[in-house]
Every structure is written in C-alpha cells, then in structure tokens.
Structure 1
Amino acid sequence: MDETRHQYIPALRFGWLTRLYDPVIRWTMREDLFKPRLVEQVGMQPGHRVLDLGCGTATLTILLKQHQPQSTIVGLDGDPVVLARAREKAAEAGVDISFDEGMAYQLPYPDRSFDRVVASLLLHHLTLDNKRRALRETFRVLKPGGQLHIVDFGRPHTFLMACASLIVRWLEEAYEHVKGMVPGLIREAGFTHVEETGRYTTGFGTLVLTRSVKPERGAGGIERRNGTS
C-alpha cells in the first residue's frame, strides 16, 4: 500500500462518524451561507471543466452543476464510503456528475485538465507536506489562467473564534490554517493574485474564502510561476 494512504484522515477524523458528516457540517459550519457564495465566486462558464477536490458527500458538487448545467463537474475524494453517498445524492438530484476515488496530492488527471478547481474544507485534513503536494498537483491540472477557489479554516479574527479553533486544531492538521499560513502555501505552489474574498464565523473557528490564479503562459509557451517565466 502507498505509505501516503496511512496519513489519510476521514471526514470528521474517525470513519465511524462519516454518516454524521452532512448534519454536522450543516449545523456547525454555516454551509448554507458559504457554499452558495463559493459557487458564485467560481464564475463557471458553459463548457468549463471544474474539479471539486475532496468533494465529500457532494453537497457543493451538486450546487456547482445546478448553477451551470453546461459545465462538466468532477468530484474527487479518498473515502469510498463518502463517494457512495455522493453518487446517491447526485442521482437523487438528477444531475450528471463524474466521481473518482483518489487523493488530492496524487491527482489522476492529465496536466491542464480543468478551468476551475474548488476545495471546500479539504486542506485542514492534510499534513503540511501533503498540503504542499496537493497545491502543486492542483497547479498542474489547472489550465493556464485557471482559478483555484478554497474555503477552509483561517486565522481566528475574534477571541471566541480563537477558542473555537482549539477543537479543530486538536482533531485535524489545522496549525498552518489558524496561523494564517495557507495563502503563503498557495503562492509557494505557483499561484498568483491570491486574495481573501470572504470570512465566516462558525462553530469550529473562522472560515476564509480565497481565490487564486494559475498564471497564463509566458513567452515561448512556458507557464509562469510566481510571476516569472
């Protein structure tokens, strides 16, 4: 078995809690606010290919497809139990979505495959090394000019949120998030125009929306990284 699989953390950390994922997220994370905002921010166009990285049970994946039916939506997750529920929900919603089992840091897609990548509440599940690998892989599969949209935990903006974030720091790999290091990791992977676009108070800490761009090709067809060619 690939040793990286030993580092996989299921939804809510423990596999036996997976069946509770949807109600827990709905009750504690204000997904009725941040997910519609994220869908709007993605700015999908007809014909776009969009990857929902760490799609979970496909709540966001389905919203993306419903928002732009003429786009191709792909959901990827490392948990086969979660993916089974995702497929059920997509069928119930009557939407055509492809789901793949795989890890965010070992994407099973060719270079320059997607116009947009979204990652909702994914990165805090990954070790620092795998965060870096996942961001590099995301950069690889995005087309030049493509966009990465992330919503995940960020630096607490109130004392109450600092206290709430202690829970997620204990359960997950969230140190870099609560220290405000994620934008730097995104830039390190080669993305530019990294900007915070929203902030939400939740039961587990501050959620931050970010948007970043894979640079267009430079002279000679070379993709620019970090503003250089």
Structure 2
Amino acid sequence: MTTKKFIPALGYDFLSDYYDLAIKLTMPEKKFRNKLIDIVNPIGNEKILEFGFGTAQNIILLKQRFPNTNVQGLDIDPKIKSIAEYKLSKASIYAELFLYDGERLPFEDNSFDKVYSSLVFHQLDKVTKLKCLLEINRILKPNGLLIIGDWGKAKTKWMRVTFYLVQLLDGFKTTSDNVNGFMPNYLTDAGFSEVKEIDFINTSIGTYSYYKAYKN
C-alpha cells in the first residue's frame, strides 16, 4: 500500500514528538478541546470517527467524559499513531485506531453517525481537502453530522499576523484557504448541507473556528 505524501504534525516529521507541547504553549488547550467535544456531544449508541486523531488527545478527553462512546480514529501518519497508541494505553483507554493511504477511507458507506476533525484540514491542499470531505460524506449515515475544528478566517488583524507562524510551519499553499475563510465553501462543494461556522476561539497564533455540516 502506497501512502500519499502528507504534512506531519508541526510541518516536519522530527517535530511530531513536540506536538503536544506546542499546542499547550500556543493554544488554550483545555478550552478548545472541551468545546469541540461539547459540539460532538455523543448520544446513545452513536458510532463516531475522529478524522486525523493526532496524538489522541481528543479521543482521550472524549472517552473520559463519555466512557461508553464508540469512537474510532483514522490518521495517515504511522509515527503519530504510535504516539497515540502509547498515550491511550497509558490512560487505560481503548479506541480502535486506523491508518489509511490518503485515498479511499477504509470504511463502508453510511458507517458513522458523526465524524469530527481538529487541526487537519489546514494541512491539506485544495484537491485533498475536497477529496477527504467527499469521502467523509460517503461514510457518514444519512443526516450524519460533521464537525471540524481548525484555523479559520482571522477575526482581527492581529490574529492574521500571528497566523503567519502556522503558515511558515505548515505551508502557505495549504493554509491560505483556511485563513481566508473558505472552509464552508469546501463543505458545500462536497455535498454537505446546513454548513455553518458556529463558534471560534482566538489563540496566540490565529483564530480556531468550529464548523458544522450535515450529510443530505
């Protein structure tokens, strides 16, 4: 299986081990993660996927708050998967983690009630953004919910200036559409409905926005 070229956490593979520390230093971690889980709001027997689980911080928090939730994770980075598995084991939390090749997601049509993602789409180029959203649309059940937390349109001039740090690490090519506020356009183009930016948090390195959309 050939894995599509991807941008690692923090832009470079050797920095992946420092990802959690970077988040703690630059973002209100507890606030933005808890707000994300608030929006996901697991109910009953829902089957939920995190697209781009990273170091599993969101999965750990979700399982701590909602222990019986059926949550799975998908990522493209083998190194980050190893970090995530270690952290889950250390926290005595079980969740299935999958790797994929950057093309078709390894799940059947209509598999999940909800999919959420955090700080992933700003690392994807235009074609890959849309391709991933189309695949997420495919694996969601009818009326399924997609929640994305990621860098959005800067709410102040200072937020735009500080976001240049993210762009220097992750690249201007992939991040420009995020900071220009185009994520809702991609969601609409991928066939989602009721697309909304429902909230945001200004951080020390940019505006982190929350988007919701439903599968038709």
Alignment of 1:95-110 (within 5 A): 95-103=93-101, 105-110=103-108
Q: What amino acid sits opposite 2:41 in the alignment?
A: G
Q: What amino acid sits opposite 1:84 in the alignment?
A: S
SS in structure 2 opposite 1:74?
strand
Q: What amino acid sits opposite 2:4 in the alignment?
A: R
Note closer, same or farther for the CA distance 1:123–1:37 as it changes in structure 2 (3 Å cut): same
Aligned-pair CA distance for 1:105:
4.5
Output the CA distance in 1 between the equivalents of 2:194 and 2:103. Answer: 22
Q: What amino acid sits opposite 1:63 in the alignment?
A: L
**Contact map agreement 2:4 2:102 (CA 8 A) in 1:** no
**1:156 matched residue in structure 2:** 154
Gap runs ≥5 in structure 1: 216-229
TM-score (norm. length: structure 2): 0.94
**2:187 matched residue in structure 1:** 186
Aligned-pair CA distance for 1:103:
4.7
The one-character-per-residue Cα deviations of 1:143-168 (angstroms, maximum 9, x if unpaired) are 01110000101111111111012222
Alignment of 1:83-162 (within 5 A): 83-103=81-101, 105-162=103-160
Larger Rg: 1
Structure 1 stretches of 4+ with a deviation exceeding 6 A read: none
- Identity rate, percent: 35
**1:30 matched residue in structure 2:** 28
Note closer, same or farther for the CA distance 1:203–1:103 as it changes in structure 2 (3 Å cut): farther
Gap runs ≥5 in structure 2: none
Matched, 1:198 2:199: yes
**Contact map agreement 2:117 2:147 (CA 8 A) in 1:** yes
Q: Please, which of 13, 37, 40 is the counterpart of residue 38 of structure 2?
A: 40
The one-character-per-residue Cα deviations of 1:43-90 (angstroms, maximum 9, x if unpaired) are 211211111111000000111222222221111111111111111111
Note closer, same or farther for the CA distance 1:103–1:153 as it changes in structure 2 (3 Å cut): farther
Output the CA distance in 2 between the equivalents of 1:130 and 1:85. Answer: 25
Q: Please, which of 8, 16, 19 is the counterpart of residue 17 of structure 2?
A: 19
**Contact map agreement 1:29 1:203 (CA 8 A) in 2:** yes
Output the CA distance in 2 between the equivalents of 1:29 and 1:77. Answer: 22
* Bigger shift: residues 93-102 or 136-145: 93-102
**Contact map agreement 1:45 1:68 (CA 8 A) in 2:** no
SS in structure 2 opposite 1:138?
helix
Q: What amino acid sits opposite 2:113 in the alignment?
A: D
**2:60 matched residue in structure 1:** 62
SS in structure 1 opposite 2:211?
strand
The one-character-per-residue Cα deviations of 1:87-129 (angstroms, maximum 9, x if unpaired) are 1111121122001112564311111111110110000111110
Higher relative contact order (CA 8 A, sep 6+): 2
Note closer, same or farther for the CA distance 1:14–1:114 as it changes in structure 2 (3 Å cut): same
